[in-house]
Amino acid sequence: MSEKPFVITPVYDILLRGSLYMPMGLFHLQIVTAEQLCRLHYKPGCIKAVKARLKNLAEAGYVQHDVIPSREFRRPYYYTLGTKGVRYLRQTGLDIDDTFRASKEVNKHSLFVEHALELNDVIIAAALLKGTDSGYYLHSFIHERTLRRKPYKATWRVNGRQEAISLIPDALLNFQCFDGQRQMRFPVLLEHDRGTEGQHHFRQRIRAYLTFLKDEGPQKLFGTQAVTIAFTTFAGEFRLAQMRKWARQELTQHNSRFGQTFVFANFVRPLEPRTMWLEPVWRVAYEDQPPVALLAL
């Protein structure tokens, strides 16, 4: 007796591309764990069912799985799209880059995978703000992989020679809130830091953002002038202090008027959406400024 062909039913479709209520899935997050997909769409007690469905998707060729190389005895799988998954999502009308190759989505360097998964935790916390009674929600977001298609080229001169850097944020988060009269937008350019970048490269990135802001880059690329540039980390308070110090040095050196545009925060997982986005847990670069709530900016 031949086995029935595998069919994408709604319980599988929600893992691949999300639902009407929560339009976010593996396609949007690129690299994801079963726990992250469970957190997005189900209660914690559903994790076994989510893992079983991902296993079925993997066996049918719609997703691939791999583990981060580690000395630990066992680490959880992370999942990414497979060839059939790409074909299926293209048929549903989702925009998948023609250069996408499923074979390149596994066997990634551990630093890349760990950064991607940490970044996803931040993005998921933004998406889950919708489940609070705050009135704020994540209207849309653009992942780094999509932003990479059209990077901003920042250039400046140092000691008579030209320096250049391609500026590619980790994500663009478009928050919205209705204040009773109009729909308000709160665009946030997200940078997630793992504590591995040295002072020189970090300050280069701050300098590139200053060039981006002076050049009206947000208006050209995203259609808005008001934007917040948010740096998150899970690496601890010392790293938070480093980032603020290096940003402060760069802002002072260039006498920038954009000091309040940059905010920084260290978080401990699990992330609580309302606390993260609506409470004063973010710091600007300057020491004499109190913590601020990101969406109050």
Same domain, residue pair 146 and 292: yes
Domains contained in the chain, number: 2
Of 50, 53, 81, 49, nearest to 65 by C-alpha is 81
The secondary structure of 101-154, three-state, reads CHHHCCCCCHHHHHHHHHHHHHHHHHHHHHHCCCCEEEEEEEEHHHHCCCCEEE
Q: What is the pLDDT of residue 217?
A: 83
Indicate if 186 and 72 belong to the same structural domain: no
- In whole angstroms, give the CA distance from residue 271 to residue 118: 11
Shared domain for 11 and 83, answered yes or no, is yes
Query: C-alpha angle with apex 199: 198 to 201, nearest 5 degrees?
Result: 75
**Low-confidence residues of the chain: pLDDT under 70:** 1-3, 69-74, 101-103, 105-107, 297
For residue 71, the model assigns a pLDDT of 57
Q: Are residues 96 and 175 in the same domain?
A: no
Express each pLDDT in 25-39 by its tens digit: 999 999 999 999 999
The verdict on 194 and 295 lying in the same domain is yes
d(CA 209, CA 280): 24
Q: What is the CATH number of the domain that holds 11?
A: 1.10.10.10
Same domain? For 149 and 275 the reply is yes
Shared-domain flag, residues 233 and 286: yes
Q: Which amino acid is at 60?
A: A
Does 118 fall in a domain? Answer: no
Q: What is the pTM of this model?
A: 0.93
Do residues 28 and 89 both lie within one domain? yes
In a domain? residue 144: yes
Q: For residue 48, what are the domain limits?
A: 1-108
Model pLDDT, residue 19: 96
Q: Does 169 lie in the same domain as 93?
A: no
- For residue 119, being part of any structural domain is answered with no
Tokens at residue 266, please? 């260290």
Asked whether residue 121 is domain-assigned, the answer is no
Q: pLDDT tens digit string along 123-159? A: 999 999 998 888 999 999 999 988 998 899 988 887 7
Domain boundary among 43, 74, 108: 108
**Which residue, among 260, 158, 242, has the nearest Cα to 197 in the 3D structure?**
242
Question: Does any domain span residue 113?
Answer: no
Write down which residue in 72, 93, 108 finishes a domain. 108
Q: Tell me what pLDDT residue 142 has.
A: 93
The predicted pLDDT at position 102 comes to 67
The DSSP H or E segment spanning 85 is helix 83-91
In terms of domains, do 142 and 286 share one?
A: yes
Q: Residue 123: inside a domain, yes or no?
A: no
Residue 51 pLDDT: 97
Q: Are residues 87 and 161 in the same domain?
A: no
Is the residue at 125 inside a domain?
A: no
- pLDDT at res. 213: 92
Regarding whether 146 and 33 lie in a shared domain, the answer is: no
- The reported pLDDT for the residue numbered 181 is 81
Domain boundary among 77, 108, 139: 108
Q: Is residue 32 part of a domain?
A: yes
